[in-house]
Amino acid sequence: MNFNDLDAAFRPERATRCKTETLASRSPRPTNPPGRPIHDCDINPRQGNSNVSLIPYQGGVNMRKLGYLVMLFCALPLCFSSNAWSFGRKTTIKVGINAPMTGDIPKVGEGTKYAAEMWLEDVKKAGGIEVGGKKYPVEIIVEDNESKAESAVKANTKLITQDDVLVIIGPQSSKQAVPAGDVANNNETPMISPWSTNPDTTANRPYVFRGCFLDPFQGPVVANFITEEFGFTKAAVLYDVASDYPKGLAEFFKAAWESKHGPGSVVAYESFTTKDTDFSSQLTKIIRSGAQVLFTPQYYNEVALIVQQAKDLGWKGPIVGSDSWGSAETIELCGPACYGQFFSTHYAAAGAVGATKEFIDRYNKKYGYIPDDVAALTWDALRLAQTAIENTGKLTGNIKKDRKAVRDALAKIKDFEGITGKMTFTEEGDPKKCAVIVKISDKGEYEFYKQICP
């Protein structure tokens, strides 16, 4: 029933005259000139309640019917209010995904999307997410942040203010997660970054969580591992100064290394800028410095270039990486040059057992390759979000209240059994969990080498 039909139900005598007139046949008349008879067809509800001026009807007034009309117009704004996201229909739980589907690291976005698809399949098979004895359908909304900070901010803003998502998964990289986390926190929307290890992502942000360990933990883990494994005392570092993640981790590694081996024991500390592809100048300085090991906490697209160029220039020592090496693309791009190298990460695919192996096998069968740590962490982040939603006990339909309830439930999670390890959140929204040292085998596989816990 449209507005004219509804009005006709209240004023049958008006319907006969007004239905024959169209909006195109009359120019709008916001007011009536003096002396002109008032025409009751001038009430045009289709113009929207912000532009309608109700003109007094010059005839008998049925107060009961007029009351119905007033109630109708008062109720209309509620249909479009974010505080009534379930008004008049079954509530759908919306989960936002903020990921780099394009840009510098699209493989990270791909792993994020694939893990989300698998999770959604399971949720649909179960009939939805059960909250307080009632099952709710779930929708995933993916936004491409293009591997850019400004795009990640726009993506979060859209997911929160236009899409009315209950929780956001991502961004992954710290360069996008740090600024996007500010948007989520300011809008009191829970966000879980599966892969961002920079402390600033969650610092002083009660609505922002992460699914991985932090760089203040990872830096010392790598420094201690190199010292114990090789007995070296002189290290070099090569990192992207324009990106939050490698810059922060390089600083934490340097501080940890020099606390063990003394000031100046990081004999070369070289930097470059995002999108650089020629590292010969920095690597030449590193080789001449007398460094015994090179630590480079870079993404897969840069790792291959750095390792191959270092070997071409005559570097003989080990090159050690961080969790950003964990992408399946690292081996594809780097090849044998990366065989035998080590990096710290969140889980190891080779030799996995239990639920972790089930996830790996299912992912591999569905998409044709072994999932990297991004996919595994995204899976855990989505299951964390699901657990928190279930633990709220009730969805009110008020998006602001429900977001707060999910945030509070996340903060209370303890001993969560993830495929990347057991997790309990601190007050800062960071999980207490172990790191894994992985060795790249001669077959190009990521083999578990050792586990290091806080």
Buried residues in 128-144 as b, exposed as e (16+ CB within 10 A): bbebeeeebebebbbbb
Structure tokens at 241: 């100064």
Dist CA 431 CA 380 (whole Å): 12
421: β partners = 418
Beta-carbon contacts of residue 314 (< 8 Å; ≥ 6 apart): 287
**364 HSE (CA, 13 A, CB side):** 12
> What is the rounded distance in angstroms from the CA atom of residue 270 to the CA atom of residue 257?
16
pLDDT tens-digit series, residues 296-347: 999 999 999 999 999 999 999 999 999 999 988 999 999 999 999 999 999 9
Q: What per-residue confidence (pLDDT) applies to 402?
A: 98
pTM, full prediction: 0.79
The predicted pLDDT at position 22 comes to 32
Query: Which amino acid belongs to residue 182?
Result: D
Instruction: For the beta carbon of residue 354, count every other beta carbon within 10 angstroms.
Output: 9
pLDDT tens across the length of the chain (454 residues)? 443 443 443 333 433 333 333 333 334 434 444 444 334 444 343 333 333 333 333 444 455 554 554 454 444 443 433 443 444 457 899 999 999 999 999 999 999 999 999 999 999 999 999 999 999 999 999 999 999 999 999 999 999 999 999 999 999 999 999 999 999 999 999 999 999 999 999 999 999 999 999 999 999 999 999 999 999 999 999 999 999 999 999 999 999 999 999 999 999 999 999 999 999 999 999 999 999 999 999 999 999 999 999 999 999 999 999 999 998 899 999 999 999 999 999 999 988 999 999 999 999 999 999 999 999 999 999 999 999 999 999 999 999 999 999 999 999 999 999 999 999 999 899 999 999 999 999 999 999 999 999 8
Which class for 252: exposed (0-12), middle (13-18), buried (19 or more C-beta within 10 A)? buried
Contact 223, 257 (CB under 8 A): yes
| CA of residue 409 relative to chain centroid, distance | 18
- Tell me the per-residue pLDDT of 34-68, one tens digit each, with 9 for 90 and over: 444 334 444 343 333 333 333 333 444 455 554 55
Tokens 């806080």, located at residue: 454
